[in-house]
Amino acid sequence: MPPDLSAEVAETFGRDGALAGALPSFEARDSQREMAVAVAEAFEAGGALLAEAGTGTGKTLAYLVPAILSQHRVLVSTGTKQLQDQIYYKDLPALREALGVAFTATYMKGRGNYLCLHRFDAYRNGETLLPTGNEAVLETIAEWAGDTETGDRSEIEDLPDDLPFWGDISATSDNCIGSDCPQHQECFITRMRQRAAESDLVIVNHHLLCADAAVRQSAYGEVIPSCVHAVIDEAHQLEDVATQYFGVSVSSHRVDRMIGDGRRAAERDFVGDPEDQRTLRTALDRVEQRSTLFFGAVTQHLPTADRTRLDPTLLAPVQEAGRTLASTLRRLEAAIQLAPELTEDLRAIAKRATELADQLDFVLAASDDDYVYFLEHRGRGVFLRASPVDVSTIIREVLLERMETTVLTSATLAVNGSFGYQRARLGIRDAMEVCLPSEFDFASQTVLYLPTQMPEPREPSFTAAATDEIHRLLEATTGRAFVLFTSYANLRAVHQQLAIVTRFPLLVQGTAPRSVLLRDFRITPHAVLLATSSFWQGVDVAGDTLSCVIIDKLPFAAPGDPITAARLEAITKQGGSPFDEYQVPLAILTLLQGLGRLIRHRQDRGVLSILDPRVRTKGYGRRFLDALPPSPVVHDVDAVSRFFDDAGVD
């Protein structure tokens, strides 16, 4: 640690500092400098820092510079792959040159992105049956595998996202046999971890961060090296990601993968009496049969909605089939143990069978009040899940308390100037705080359009009224808009009516991959993108291409969602107000993320619009309005047209 890191950081961000002299686009910003100094002070003193940095602050450089100059190894976790890419491929090379400081960095993705050499050899040697029609793809992978330094599948540009056998040759923790693997030293995961352990900066995302923490007790699962200083960017996403990874999930896909791996291992690795091998094959066949019966019963007897909350009563019709599957999984483990010489691949199958049995028993019992149990249908998959209702203690114990320094930052962390909501949700007890306003001049760069004649969202006439308002706004802005919806049902209903009346090209979520829709939006004049939750954050479209963001309804979490319902109940049991303490703060942060898509640079101009009348008519609406940027409010579409005329936007 430099003797006075804070002073060095402050000087670096000054008007005559190292960044001003080396980065052509750099401009000294008071808020960025203030955040950077706060981060430096956190590295010096230790503990946690909560830093909200409004749009335009330049928060990424504000934490990267202190991290580099601190001379610590720092873990940086982001919410999106896009930000990972920006940091690793753009920001760090620029800072290496600007600061004149030698440092190393490693980019880490989830294990499933990397090729497993051990399992790939089984395919190449014919020990594993290749799905028909994939011979050319296998040859492409084989050629690449001989040259790649990282084993990251993204290096093969035209590799299909849904490649049917990638799960069989990737380095997932389920498949990993650890240091006993014959290719352990050549393994891409081993080499990535070694690079990270020797690096000054380790760049991950929240999914890998939480997945890694969840399997830290496992012999082979952990890939992130030990770090005691961390920056968690886009920290508003951390609770949702932690909820996903610190729970339990038993799926038809997961059982099928284990059966396939077991059969391959039985043919390739079993040493001993042929009768014992036949016993193992029979045990695998029985697991497959019992799995088919169990998941068939789930489909037949349980609701078919996308997500359904479960309890012992609802689970009763499938519990016998589930218990039979669990006992069959345990008999599989016993059959594997009959082998006189157990290979590590067979040991891994035995371990997976036992874990699946234990987790299936846990979900079927649905008896732990700290978890919410639910059924999820996704594509052809059936998932029985148990998720923690409250992850605050888990985050504190598994992530925060392991660190000497933790910086948590986002453009949306505080609600009406208070960090209380995030402190409670993330288990943060003691923390320094800094809340920095946006560098953008919303009073001159934007207007906020709130229509005065909209019906309540629950009224049948809302969709038609919303379509009319959207149509009139698009005429005023000549398209160039994101229309963000709180549900697919709303999106489909409006799209059906809007397509009849608008003259602008409509791009609709679900018709193409997210990256393709964004590319088409940028290159299509006057385009309008209709989208839901995945476009509310992590999307950056600068300039006149995007001049309008329209929100259909206040983005309250659906109270019928199993996890949301369980959290509302938990707050009620504790004597709190779930609406005031959870639903409103979460909706405010989500709304700010959505509206934050509009202004990305000082030259941007545009209109924000919320069609939901509750922002004006309900008492809690004032909390939303007070949280919004200081945009002038207008109620007339003609005022929107005049704004663009005055701003000189075509």
Task: Residue 139: give the domain boundaries.
Answer: 110-198
pLDDT category at 513 given cuts 50, 70, 90 is confident
In a domain, 223, yes or no: no
Global confidence as pTM: 0.92
Give a yes or no: residue 601 inside a domain.
yes
Q: Residue 243 above 90 pLDDT? A: yes
Lowest mean pLDDT across 16-20, 359-363, 378-382: 378-382
Ranges 214-228, 266-280, 505-519, 572-586, most confident: 572-586
Can you give the pLDDT at residue 284? 95
What residues are paired with 50 via a beta bridge? 408, 433
Same domain for 570 and 432: no
Supply φ then ψ for residue 61, to 5 degrees: -65, -30
Whether residues 452 and 599 share a domain: the answer is yes
Q: Are residues 269 and 187 in the same domain?
A: no
Q: How confident is the model at residue 370 (pLDDT cuts 50, 70, 90)?
A: very high
> Do 468 and 403 share a structural domain?
no
Sign for the pseudo-dihedral over CA of 286, 292, 295, 301? negative
Among candidate residues 436, 455, 488, the one where a domain is terminated: 436
Judge whether residue 145 has pLDDT over 70: yes
Contact 423, 48 (CB under 8 A): no
pLDDT at 489: 93
Residue 421 has pLDDT above 80, yes or no: yes
Residues 314 and 400 placed together within one structural domain of the fold = no
Q: How confident is residue 114, by pLDDT bands cut at 50, 70 and 90? A: very high
- Please provide the average confidence, as pLDDT, over all residues in the chain: 91
Of 16-30, 552-566, 626-640, which gets the smallest average pLDDT? Answer: 16-30
In order, the DSSP letters of 249-268 are: EEEHHHHHHHHHHHHHHHHH
- Is 469 in the same domain as 537? yes
Percent of the chain with pLDDT over 90: 71
Same domain (yes/no): 120, 99: no
Express each pLDDT in 595-610 by its tens digit: 888 887 888 899 999 9
CATH of the domain at 100: 3.40.50
Residue 312, in any domain of the structure:
yes
The answer, yes or no, to whether residue 181 has pLDDT greater than 70, is: yes
H helical segments located in 502-650:
514-523, 562-573, 578, 584-595, 614-617, 621-627, 637-647
The predicted pLDDT at position 36 comes to 97
Look at residue 520 in the predicted model and tell me its pLDDT.
Answer: 94
Q: Is 210 within a domain?
A: no
Pair 279, 296 in one domain: yes
- Higher pLDDT pick, 277 / 349: 349
In total, how many domains does the chain have?
4
Cα 198 to Cα 220: distance, rounded to the nearest angstrom: 20
Measure CA of the first residue to CA of the last residue in the chain; give whole Å: 52
**pLDDT digit string (tens) for 201-224?**
999 999 999 999 988 755 556 789
Task: Please compute the mean of the pLDDT values over residues 631-636 and round it to a whole number.
Answer: 95
pLDDT at 130 over 70: no
pLDDT band at 184 (very low <50, low <70, confident <90, very high): confident
- Structural element, H or E, at residue 387: strand 381-388
Q: What angle do CA 314, 458, 625 make, to 5 degrees?
A: 110
480 within some domain:
yes
Does residue 221 lie in a domain region? no
pLDDT (tens digit, 9 = 90+) per residue, 33-79? 999 999 999 999 999 999 999 888 999 999 999 999 999 999 999 99
Q: Are residues 280 and 343 in the same domain?
A: yes
426 and 352 in a common domain: no
Q: Is the pLDDT of residue 319 over 90?
A: yes
pLDDT tens digits, residue range 542-555? 778 899 999 999 99
- Whether the per-residue pLDDT at 649 is higher than 70: the answer is no
Residue 118 shares a structural domain with residue 100: no
The answer to the question of residue 99 being in a domain is: yes
Check whether residue 446 and residue 416 sit in a common domain: no
Greatest Cα pair distance in the chain: 86
Instruction: Supply the CATH number for residue 520's domain.
Output: 3.40.50.300
Residue 446 in domain: yes
